């Protein structure tokens, strides 16, 4: 997430927060597979992803639906702060090692009442979550599987740095089951679709990553042009 001047909003927010004498940010490392927050548990406070990636999940009985992928600068669950709720709305599970910063619920509420900059950050974080969910609903309703896979890759490319020659490597850290859940299809269909995109020259499948070789064609397939 970037501010209008190109700086990372998490860096700006952390700098502003650390400057407050009463603010106490907790740095919390995590490993792949760790559950960072769990749906229905007491909300621990505002948590900001500083490094690594995670999936946003909601469950029903024995099933779960992956709702999106979180990246550096994303808030894990901002809804309880906005709505004065006590419980987490989502489960967030790490898909690669990293760390986050936590501001206690009490301090987050105080900061939200006192800091216009913090209020703007919360507004952007909530808008990002709503936008992510709206895009998911749109894709599931109106796009076929190939378009959904392309749309997911397109969104991942937008937040990752080029590897070389303009190519971008998307980490293959989501399991096929998680990716299929996010895209509303079966694992076998996701696998076949990725292979088809590779044969057409849009991507290259490598151990541990998917390299996007033709961003223009990917954008067209994702219907973002």
pLDDT at 73: 84
- Identity of the highest mean pLDDT range in 17-31, 90-104, 116-130, 149-163: 90-104
Number of domains in the chain: 2
Residue 3, pLDDT score: 42
Average of pLDDT values for 75-86? 88
* pLDDT value at 36 more than 80: yes
- What average pLDDT does this structure show over 38-55? 93
pTM of the model: 0.80
Mean pLDDT over all residues of the chain? 85
Q: Supply the range of the domain harboring residue 90.
A: 9-140
Judge whether 210 lies within some domain.
yes
- pLDDT above 90 for 29: yes
Q: Which of 112, 140, 168 is the last residue of a domain?
A: 140
Residue 50 lies in a domain: yes
CATH number at residue 115: 2.60.120.10
Which range is most confident: 84-88, 124-128, 136-140, 200-204?
A: 200-204
pLDDT (average), residues 74-89: 89
Is residue 1 a part of any domain in this protein?
no
Q: What does the pLDDT read at residue 10?
A: 64
What is the 3-class SS of the chain, one letter each residue? CECCCCCEHHHHHHHHHHCCCCCCCEEEEECCCCEEECCCCECCEEEEEEECCEEEEEEECCEEEEEEEECCCCECCCHHHHHCCCECCCEEEECCCEEEEEEEHHHHHHHHHHCHHHHHHHHHHHHHHHHHHHHHHHHHHHCCHHHHHHHHHHHHHHHCCEEECCEEEEECCCCHHHHHHHHCCCHHHHHHHHHHHHHCCCEEEECCEEEECCHHHHHHHCCCC
* Tens digits of residue pLDDT in 82-95: 888 889 999 999 99
Q: Which of 123, 140, 157 is the last residue of a domain?
A: 140
Q: How confident is the model at residue 20 (pLDDT cuts 50, 70, 90)?
A: low
Same domain, 152 and 54: no
Q: Which of residues 108 and 194 earns the better pLDDT score?
A: 194
- Asked whether residue 3 is domain-assigned, the answer is no
Q: How confident is the model at residue 54 (pLDDT cuts 50, 70, 90)?
A: very high
Same domain, 31 and 131: yes
pLDDT higher than threshold 60 for residue 72: yes
Q: What percent of the chain has pLDDT over 90?
A: 46
Q: So what's the pLDDT on residue 13? A: 65
**132 shares a domain with 148:** no
Examine the domain organization and report whether 39 and 111 are in the same domain.
yes
């Amino acid at each position: 997430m970037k501010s209008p001047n190109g700086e990372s909003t998490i860096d700006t927010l952390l700098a502003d927060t650390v400057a407050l004498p009463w603010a106490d940010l907790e740095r919390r490392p995590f490993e792949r597979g760790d559950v960072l927050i769990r749906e229905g548990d007491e909300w621990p406070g505002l948590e900001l992803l500083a490094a690594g990636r995670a999936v946003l999940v909601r469950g029903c009985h024995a099933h779960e639906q992956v709702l999106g992928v979180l990246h550096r600068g994303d808030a894990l669950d901002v809804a309880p702060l906005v709505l004065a709720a006590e419980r987490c709305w989502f489960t967030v599970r790490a898909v690669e090692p990293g760390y986050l910063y936590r501001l206690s619920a009490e301090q987050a509420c105080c900061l939200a009442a006192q800091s216009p900059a913090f209020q703007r950050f919360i507004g952007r974080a909530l808008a990002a979550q709503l936008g992510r969910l709206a895009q998911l609903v749109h894709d599931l309703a109106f796009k076929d599987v190939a378009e959904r896979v392309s749309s997911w890759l397109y969104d991942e490319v937008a937040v990752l740095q080029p590897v070389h020659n303009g190519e971008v490597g998307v980490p293959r850290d989501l399991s096929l089951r998680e990716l299929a859940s996010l895209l509303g299809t079966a694992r076998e269909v996701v696998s076949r679709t990725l292979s088809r995109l590779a044969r057409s020259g849009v991507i290259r499948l490598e151990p541990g990553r998917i390299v996007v070789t033709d961003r223009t064609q990917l954008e067209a397939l994702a219907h973002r042009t």
